Structures are given as structure tokens and as C-alpha cells.
Amino acid sequence: MKIQAAVVRAPHAPMSMETLDLEAIRDNEILVRLVATGVCHTDIAMRDQAFPVPQPIVLGHEGAGVVEAVGRAVRKVKAGDHVVMSFNSCGHCDSCQEHAPSYCHDFFGANFAGQRPDGTSPLSRGAESIHGNFFGQSSFATYSICTERNIVKVPQSAPLELLGPLACGIQTGAGAVINALQPRMGQSLAVFGSGSVGMAAIMAARAIGLTTIIAVDLVDERLALARELGATHTLNPKAGGDTVAEIKRITGAGVHRSFETTGVMKVLRQAVESLAPRGTCGFVGASAVGTEVSLDVIDIMTQGKTLRGIVEGDANPDVFIPALIALHAQGRFPFDKLIRFYPFERLNEAIQDSEAGTVVKPVVRMPA
């Protein structure tokens, strides 16, 4: 079938809107008509080759839509179901078998290789093969193919056009707090970076009863939104002063948990140094391959601190995404306040606004 898709043909260049051919689904595949897709920092990083993803490629990995058709072996969903497409995983390694798919032993191959496991892509333009299957979906397109491994059925009563960001950015931030860092009610958290991931962490922290939630960012408008969403304190390093010292002034000994979302190694060190004894710092972000960080080993050892990476919020999407939807329906997780919609044909504008920091979470809506 013919579809419209945004194709990356060069790093740091606008994506081109093209008409592509999409293969018929195989027995284990699912065809989804996209309603909306979130724009994630990872899409931008992959466009610009932070990881060496092949090009030309169709990116997009926060897709929400309606199932159009399923292969003969598919049992999880049926035509007409409303769905979100999340990250991909192999399904048979130790991590996948232990319900930790975000740490799939083949996470990079399953999500960044731009092809099916057999080396093929479902996308082409005439005789030219276009890399697809990015995060098992390549959802910067009007239609997408995925599998049961990365599709999540959602309630038809939920606002489908809002739900795509739950697949990655929002899931990552909320899951980092709830699943990975696991602070107790009444404890403290400092979040470094108030983009969509950081904002999701702040909303999750409020939802589970943390009483001191500190947002750190360079943009005052984002800090104002962070306060609206649950931050009890905000810090802008541009105002001067020592961020770590200020966090310890607010909390006494430091925070129980810190969460670094910027991918800036200087900031990661601050997040570790802001911890109280026995505290844990979690970090995310698509830093360039080979990035290294310098830490004070004595500080970490003598204070019993923990530093851990987090992928996709330690989430099992089949369980976690419906839980976030339920919290949103109750008014306890208002992630819709982060979102600005753009028509699909203005995807490059949405990306530019995201890079400029003028929008927290852009979502592109596909033509009806």
C-alpha cells in the first residue's frame, strides 16, 4: 500500500515528506493506522547520528492509532482496537523472560537497526529500500507495521491522540520514579531537566506522595510549569549560586533520590553530589556513544550512594501504560499539559520548536 512518511536522508537536515510503499503484513505482524505520534528527543538524536542508525530511515516511536489488520498468528489485538506502540524487544532473552523488556539483550538491534530481525525492511520507494522498523514501528508515517511485542491495547474511551508520548518519554520519566528509583512516601527528589521526561517524573513523584520535589532547569517558563505539575521548589542555575549547595540547604543532608535527564555529564555529577547518604541517582538520555563522566569515588563510596542507568522507566508497557492512562483519567497525572499538537506535514517545525525549548512535548496528528 502507499503511505505518507517522513524520511531522514542526512544528519541535521529536515525530514522529507515522501510517498512510500509499505509491504503487506506477515503472519506475526500488525498494521496500524496512525492517529498521532509524539516527537521524542531520541528521534532528533538518531536523525543526527548520536547512534549510527542507517539512513535513509523513517523514525518515530511514540505512535498511537487504530489496528487496521492483523496477521494470522496475532492474538493480542484485533482490527478496530485502539493501541499505542512502544519500544521493541526480542521476547526470549533472560531480561524479556523476567518481564524486564527495556533491558532486552538485543535492545539496540530490536530498536535501532532499521530492519526486521531477518534483515528486511517493510518500506521502499520504487527500487530504493528505506529503513523501517525503528523501535519496531517507524511511526512518522500514516501507517505502521509492528508486532505483539511492542503493541499495547488501550481503552477506546481514552483520548487516543494524546497517548503516543506514553510509549517512551512519559513512560521513561514516570517509570524512573515509580519503578526504578522507588522513593517512599514523604521522601525527596531532585529532577535535573524539565523536558517531557523530567516533567513526567515530577508528576509521578507527586502522585506517589513525595513531599519535597525540586526541579532544576535553565528555562523559567518550564520551571513555572513544573511547579504547577507538582514541584515544591525550583532552581535555575543561570540565577547564580551553587545548585548542589542550594539543594542541600532545602533538604538538609541532600535528596533521597535524584534524576538526571539532560545527558550533560556536568549535570549528572551535580545530581550525584546532591544526594543524601545512601541516596540513589538515576539517569537517562541519548548521550553520544563513548561519553564518559567523572565522579568523586570517595563521595560515592563513603556515603553509600548509588548511580544507575534507566531505560524506558524500567517499564513493562502492557502494565504501565494502562496504569498511567487510569491516573490521567482521575486527574492525578495531567501529562496533557505538556503537549502541543502539529499537523503531520509540520513535523520539522515541531522538531525545531522542541530543539529550541519552546514546546515541552510536540505531537503530530496524521490527516484523517
Cell numbers describing residue 61? 516511536
Cβ distance 213 to 202 under 8 Å?
yes
Cβ distance 59 to 140 under 8 Å?
yes
- Residue 81's pLDDT is 98
- Residue 22's pLDDT is 98
In Å, what is the CA distance from 61 to each residue of 116, 131, 242? 15, 14, 37
- Residue 267's pLDDT is 97
Please tell me the total number of residues recorded for the chain in this structure.
Answer: 368
- Residue 17's pLDDT is 98
**Residue 13 scores a pLDDT above 80:** yes
Report the range of poorest mean pLDDT among 14-28, 240-254, 285-299, 308-322. Answer: 285-299
- Kindly indicate the confidence band of residue 45, based on its pLDDT and cuts at 50, 70 and 90: very high
- Residue 241's pLDDT is 87
- Kindly indicate the confidence band of residue 70, based on its pLDDT and cuts at 50, 70 and 90: very high
- Residue 287's pLDDT is 81
Cβ distance 139 to 63 under 8 Å?
yes
Place of cell 549535570: 267
For the segment 259-297, what is each residue's pLDDT rounded down to a tens digit?
Answer: 999 999 999 999 999 999 999 999 998 787 889 999 999
For 264, counting Cβ atoms within 10 Å of its Cβ (0-12 exposed, 13-18 middle, 19+ buried), the class is middle
> What one-character-per-residue DSSP string does 301-359 give?
HHTT-EEEE-SGGG--HHHHHHHHHHHHHTTS--GGGGEEEEEGGGHHHHHHHHHHTS-
- Residue 21's pLDDT is 98
Does the predicted TM-score (pTM) go above 0.75? yes
> What one-character-per-residue DSSP string does 230-293 give?
T-SEEE-GGG-S-HHHHHHHHHSS-EEEEEE-S--HHHHHHHHHTEEEEEEEEE---PPTT---
Q: Which of 2, 84, 44, 123 has the alpha carbon at shortest distance from 347?
A: 44
Tell me what the mean pLDDT of segment 125-135 comes to. 98
- Residue 277's pLDDT is 98
Report the range of poorest mean pLDDT among 28-32, 47-51, 165-169, 359-363. Answer: 47-51
- Residue 156's pLDDT is 96
Percent of the chain predicted with pLDDT > 70? 100
Tell me what the mean pLDDT of segment 128-138 comes to. 98
**Residue 85 scores a pLDDT above 80:** yes
Provide the mean pLDDT of the chain.
Answer: 97
**What domains can be seen in the chain, in order of their start residue?**
2-167+334-365 (3.90.180.10), 173-311 (3.40.50.720)
The reply to whether omega before 54 is within 30° of 0 (cis) is no
Q: Give the whole-angstrom CA distance, residue 149 versus residue 219.
A: 38
- Residue 92's pLDDT is 96
Percent of the chain predicted with pLDDT > 90? 96
Judging by DSSP bridges, how do beta strands 275-283 and 255-260 pair with one another? parallel
For the segment 179-230, what is each residue's pLDDT rounded down to a tens digit?
Answer: 999 999 999 999 999 999 999 999 999 999 999 999 999 999 999 999 999 9
C-alpha R_g of the chain:
20
- Residue 338's pLDDT is 97
- Kindly indicate the confidence band of residue 33, based on its pLDDT and cuts at 50, 70 and 90: very high
Cβ distance 44 to 53 under 8 Å?
no
- Residue 50's pLDDT is 87
- Residue 10's pLDDT is 96
**Residues 6 or more apart whose Cβ sits within 8 Å of residue 318:** 152
For the segment 158-167, what is each residue's pLDDT rounded down to a tens digit?
Answer: 999 999 999 9
3-state secondary structure of 169: helix
Cell numbers describing residue 109? 538491534
- Residue 51's pLDDT is 86
Cβ distance 103 to 117 under 8 Å?
no
